[in-house]
């Protein structure tokens, strides 16, 4: 058994396999995808991944910041781009400039955005991670704010691309070492009324390439 002495870890991602995985997920889900390519697609390359997925006709793409969304626009991506960073009114002009869609998680920001006109937005719902957004069991407070045509839930499955760090050689401790593994987390879109009655639902699927 050979062991790395450099102390380094790396990730190898086959873009063709990534696209094949995405195609499989879309087939299983029975709907279009919303690939999240934040953090430069977790190091794989946001523009590279987005352009590779274009033939699959995704609904749009998700990013973490306005700057990431602007990068995709500069690269020629024309589909909807959702920015998951909590939106602040002082940066609403930047969303308009790059035709980005904010993901809003509280009534005040929704009302401020809606006051600018019927520009699309999405609602961020905290289903248990505690990062941001309205708690799934407190969505009633948003009901009046989202009563507008600008509220546009994505008819798509959220796909999180997370390449796993692998070690150079296989062992009992690292059975996938030397292989290329890409994990996808799926979040099923839920209407606010569904969350009130049933709570959040999700599933996950992983494929070793």
pLDDT category of residue 87 using cuts at 50, 70 and 90: confident
Mean pLDDT throughout 94-109? 90
Mean pLDDT throughout 92-111? 90
Residues 1-17: b if buried by 16+ CB within 10 A, e if exposed: eeeeeeeeeeeebeeee
**pLDDT higher than threshold 80 for residue 71:** yes
Mean pLDDT throughout 75-85? 94
Looking at the DSSP assignment, which residues form a beta bridge with residue 116?
none
Beta strands in the chain (DSSP E): 32-36, 61-63, 81-83, 101-104, 122-123, 125-126, 134-135, 156-163, 181-187, 202-208
**Whole-number percent of the chain with pLDDT over 70:** 66
The model's pLDDT over 108-143, given as tens digits with 9 standing for 90+, comes to 888 888 888 888 888 887 777 777 777 767 777 777
Asked if 199 and 136 count as a contact pair (C-beta separation under 8 A), the reply is: yes
Task: With both helix axes pointing from N to C terminus, report the angle between 66-74 and 46-53 in degrees, rounded to the nearest 10.
Answer: 60
Mean pLDDT throughout 83-103? 92
Asked if 121 and 152 count as a contact pair (C-beta separation under 8 A), the reply is: yes
Question: What is the per-residue pLDDT for 99?
Answer: 96
Question: What is the reported pTM?
Answer: 0.70
Question: What is the per-residue pLDDT for 111?
Answer: 85
How far is Cα 26 from Cα 38, in angstroms, rounded to an integer? 20
Which architecture does CATH list for 15-208? Alpha-Beta Barrel (3.20)
What H or E segment, with its residue span, contains residue 120?
none
Asked if 37 and 63 count as a contact pair (C-beta separation under 8 A), the reply is: yes
Asked if 101 and 95 count as a contact pair (C-beta separation under 8 A), the reply is: yes
Asked if 203 and 49 count as a contact pair (C-beta separation under 8 A), the reply is: no
The model's pLDDT over 149-183, given as tens digits with 9 standing for 90+, comes to 767 666 555 666 554 433 334 444 434 333 333 33
Residue with more model confidence, 111 or 99? 99
Question: What is the per-residue pLDDT for 170?
Answer: 41
Both tokens of 13, joined, read: 């991602």
Question: What is the per-residue pLDDT for 154?
Answer: 62
**pLDDT higher than threshold 70 for residue 72:** yes
| Side-chain half-sphere CA neighbours of 73 within 13 A | 19
Burial class (CB in 10 A: 0-12, 13-18, 19+), 93: exposed
Mean pLDDT throughout 10-27? 87
How far is Cα 33 from Cα 53, in angstroms, rounded to an integer? 10
């Amino acid at each position: 058994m050979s062991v790395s002495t450099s102390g380094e870890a790396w990730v190898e991602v086959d873009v063709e396999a990534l696209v094949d995985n995405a195609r499989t997920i879309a087939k299983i889900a029975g709907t279009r995808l919303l690939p999240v390519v934040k953090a430069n697609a977790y190091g794989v390359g946001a523009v590279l991944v987005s352009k590779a997925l274009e033939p699959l006709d995704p609904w749009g793409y998700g990013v973490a910041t306005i700057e990431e969304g602007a990068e995709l626009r500069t690269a020629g991506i024309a589909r909807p781009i959702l920015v998951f960073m909590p939106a602040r009114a002082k940066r609403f002009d930047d969303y308009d400039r790059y035709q980005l869609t904010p993901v809003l998680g509280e009534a005040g920001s929704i009302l401020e955005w809606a006051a600018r006109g019927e520009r699309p937005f999405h609602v961020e719902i905290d289903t248990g991670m505690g990062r941001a957004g309205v708690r799934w069991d407190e969505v009633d407070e948003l009901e009046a704010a989202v009563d507008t045509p600008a509220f546009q839930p994505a008819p798509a499955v959220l796909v999180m691309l997370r390449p796993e760090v692998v070690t150079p050689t296989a062992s009992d401790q690292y059975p996938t070492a030397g292989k290329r593994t890409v994990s996808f987390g799926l979040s099923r879109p839920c209407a606010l009324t569904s969350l009130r009655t049933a709570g959040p639902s999700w599933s996950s699927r992983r494929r070793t390439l």
